[in-house]
Amino acid sequence: MDVILKDLQKKAYQLLLEAMTSALKKGEMTVDDSEVSSRKIVRNLDGIESYTELLLFLQSLANTYPAYKGVYVSFKQEEAAQKDKKKMEALQARLRQFASI
């Protein structure tokens, strides 16, 4: 397994736990929902093999349990930032090429 993906899975576990704990304290999630969602998380998260699969899982989880929406949004924002970074690097490389002509 990709080391980066493994780190992202650990991050997802941590953020999901924090979101669940917060939702339980605020009364935004029932104990039953937390138990069911916990089983779903444990059963599925370790088997994820790609970043896209991770995002789809988090999206599904957020659609079922609104308390987890912030985790999904966080991962989507990170994805967008990475894409923007790659675009900027490509543009900078092209500018350097033009400057050297």
10 Å Cβ neighbour count for 94? 10
- In this prediction, what percent of the chain has a pLDDT beyond 90? 67
10 Å Cβ neighbour count for 66? 13
Handedness of CA 44, 45, 51, 54 (dihedral sign): positive
pLDDT in tens, 7-32: 999 999 999 999 999 999 999 999 99
pTM of the model: 0.79
Dihedrals phi, psi of 6, to nearest 5 degrees = -60, -40
Distance of CA 51 to the CA centre of its chain: 8
Q: Where are the alpha helices (DSSP H) in the chain?
A: 3-26, 31-45, 51-64, 69-99
Please give the average per-residue pLDDT across 39-67, as a whole number. 95
